[in-house]
Structure 1
Amino acid sequence: MRELDAAGIDDPRLRASYRQARALHAAHGRTYYLATLLLPAWKRPHVHALYGFARHADDIVDDLDSALTGAERAALLRAWGERFVTALREGTRAETVDADLAPSSDAATGGVSVLPATVDTVRRFGLDPDHFDAFLASMAMDLTVDGYETWEDLLVYMHGSAAVIGLQMVPLLEPVDDSALPYARDLGLAFQLANFVRDVGEDLHRGRVYLPATSLDLFGVTREHLAAGVVDGPVRRLLAFEISRARELFRAAEPGIRLLHPTSRDCMRTALVLYRAILDEVERADYRVLERRVSVSVPRRLAVAGPALVRATRAHRRHRDDHAAGAARGGAQISSRPPR
């Protein structure tokens, strides 16, 4: 695979792990995956690895086809997370981390683990292990918490489930400095809140509500009201309120794109535009998200990604030319090469 070659990933077992992460990303994160294609080839496997890690944990918690009890899911998540943390702390060779014990590593996937790719990515980029601890803690909350009283309470959950995802990504995107971190946090929150609005019906099916109870109270909406599946005036006003909150997070995050390496900007700009478009689609569907899942159409995705691909290709070419010129002069250039 050209991406793995570009990233300098040679070990066969490690390559298999990265391929599995990529397959999960392509199958379950289509919008994000599309945006990732705008990155230089060597960066893409590492984004896939981070997505595969998150998706695998989510499968442990939420796989509706599994007969596992909540306690069994909690034990499985804990054991899987502990193996990951142990591999990081003890310096286990990434390519020898054993197979995952979770739904996405069953016979359908050949039992290939996403952990080696994740461990390798963490080490190459020096990612903060605390971000992964926070993520796993939020996933564990999904097994015991079915709602949040206030926005501040929800933010505690979203820190681990969304904000740290943005923070994990920052080193891969090569920021000019740490000033990009707050913007990445806001973008992670914006992505997740857009998903919460879109997935109200699906989350109710799992017994959870990710809109704050104070918001429901403000518009006279109860959980039973939502469960009835009737999108009336109060429900529309509730969803419009949360959409406005999400759009403010997108506005707050957008300036941070300029703080990234030029070869990373089109990827994140495309992701921002397409995730923000989810909110437009909810409005276009007259807020009917209780009985169905709205999505951004393929034509609209391509209309955004097509021009971005042209810009990204030009940015990659300019960087290669600048790097070659700098090397010829013996000068230092902004890095956009695989870390070793």
Structure 2
Amino acid sequence: MFSQTHEVFSRTAQQAANAVISNYSTSFALATRLLGSNHRHHIRNIYALVRIADEIVDGLASDAGLETKEQYELLDGFANATRSALRFGISDNLIIHAFAQTARTTGIAGDLIEPFFASMRADVSALSEPPSSVRSFSPDEHRDYVYGSAEVVGLMCLKVFLCAQNRTPAETEQLEFGARQLGAAFQNVNFLRDLADDSLRLRRSYLTADSRLTDADKTAWVIRIRRQLAHAQATFSLLPKDARTAVRSAAALFSALNERIAVTPVERLYQERVRIPNVVKARLASKAIVVTARERRP
């Protein structure tokens, strides 16, 4: 039984996490509203933690004038505070406190958190490159980065969805594969959509060991993302029913983004960000609701 002090602080932490997703991603904010009440606040807590870490390495620290060493110190301080919160169950950082509540409830542990912060550290090293250079990721570096920055986030969300659920080892293995594939697809779509910002402002080239993608490279990635999404979609019916609509809606949005990217010349991607109109987002969410409503529980 927690004291009123703890309850008020935890409620405030949850409100802070809600504000992060509302201000940073209308798409994911919409998707979380489609989740069951048992899952919704946990997914928002995960999003808030990874978003703040991402902001630290995507310019927040460097814009404040921090040198590379100081950027590492800021990120490592955030990571260490997260580790402490998992150990003690509380944090004086509202976002970390909210995440710790979710992690301790659902079983999220260091095996998922450590790869995430390792990928965030890789982004600090990219920012430390000379201003005239672009940090290119080899295939192996891309694989490791995507696992830490996106696939483990999918696995964290799966921990939430399966909390107090009974699944066979085979079903759990399928769902984990689907979660990793969905996370990778989301990240790779983001890489294509954000080519302009990544290359010009952040000086990163995640999708090629060269400094710039060709149209043939882009097409290959679009095909790869389609395959990743298909693998993920094959596992959606194994999810709890009150999670399926939200996951389907998010997957449909990224599939739509991928198809817009498919018909967009790569040079244009290096100049502007592809977007999905709100009316299309609403239509995709409505379709996800209908599909799940017609579906039987496994």
The TM-score with structure 1 as length reference comes to 0.75
Question: Does structure 1 residue 137 correspond to structure 2 residue 114?
Answer: no
Structure 1 residue 190 and structure 2 residue 185: aligned?
yes
Alpha-carbon distance in 2 for matches of 1:284, 1:255? 25
- Alpha-carbon displacement from aligned partner over 1:24-60 (angstroms, at most 9, x marks no partner): 1122122222111111123111100000000110111
Deviates more, 1:237-246 or 1:116-125: 237-246
Deviation at 1:194, TM superposition (A): 0.6
Structure 2 unaligned blocks of 5 or more: 1-5, 127-134
Q: What is residue 326 of structure 1 aligned with on the other side?
A: none
CA displacement at 1:114 relative to structure 2: 0.2
TM-fit CA distance, 1:70: 2.1
Deviation at 1:253, TM superposition (A): 1.4
Q: Name the counterpart of 1:77.
A: 75
Q: Which residue type is aligned with residue 81 of structure 1? A: A
> Does residue 92 of structure 2 align to residue 98 of structure 1?
yes
Q: How far apart in 1 are the matches of 2:24 and 2:225?
A: 22
Q: What is the DSSP-based 3-state SS (H/G/I as helix, E as strand, rest coil) of the residue aligned with 1:153?
A: helix
Q: Is the 8 A contact 2:89 2:104 kept in 1?
A: no
Change (3 A) 1:240 1:155: same
1:38–1:308 CA contact under 8 A, matched in 2: no
Deviations 1:102-128 (A, max 9, x none): xxxxxxxxxxx2011000000111113
Q: How does 1:270-285 map to 2 (within 5 A)?
A: 270-285=249-264
TM-aligned CA distance change 1:238 to 1:311, over 3 Å: closer
2:101 counterpart residue number: 120
Structure with higher helix content: 2
Q: What letter matches 2:98 in structure 1?
A: A
- Distance in 2, Cα, partners of 1:282 & 1:311: 25
Query: How many residues are treated as equivalent by the alignment?
Result: 274
| CA RMSD of superposed structures (Å) | 2.2
Pairing partner for 2:41 from 40, 45, 49: 45
Partner residue in 2 for 1:257: 236
Letter in 1 for 2:137: Y
Q: Deviations over 1:161-216 (max 9, x none)?
A: 01101111112222634121111111110110011111111101211110122xx5
Q: Distance in 2 between matches of 1:35 and 1:258?
A: 17
TM-score (normalizing by structure 2)? 0.85
Residues 194 and 246, structure 1, Cα contact 8 Å, conserved in 2: yes
Match of 1:304 among 275, 279, 284: 284
Q: Percent identity?
A: 28
Once the 2 structures are TM-superposed, how far is the Cα of residue 276 of structure 1 from its aligned partner? Answer: 1.3
Q: Give 1:284 shift.
A: 4.0
Give the counterpart letter for 2:149 in structure 1.
S
Q: Are 1:290 and 2:270 an aligned pair?
A: yes
Q: Which has the larger radius of gyration?
A: 1
> Does the alignment pair 1:152 with 2:147?
no
Amino acid at match of 2:119: S
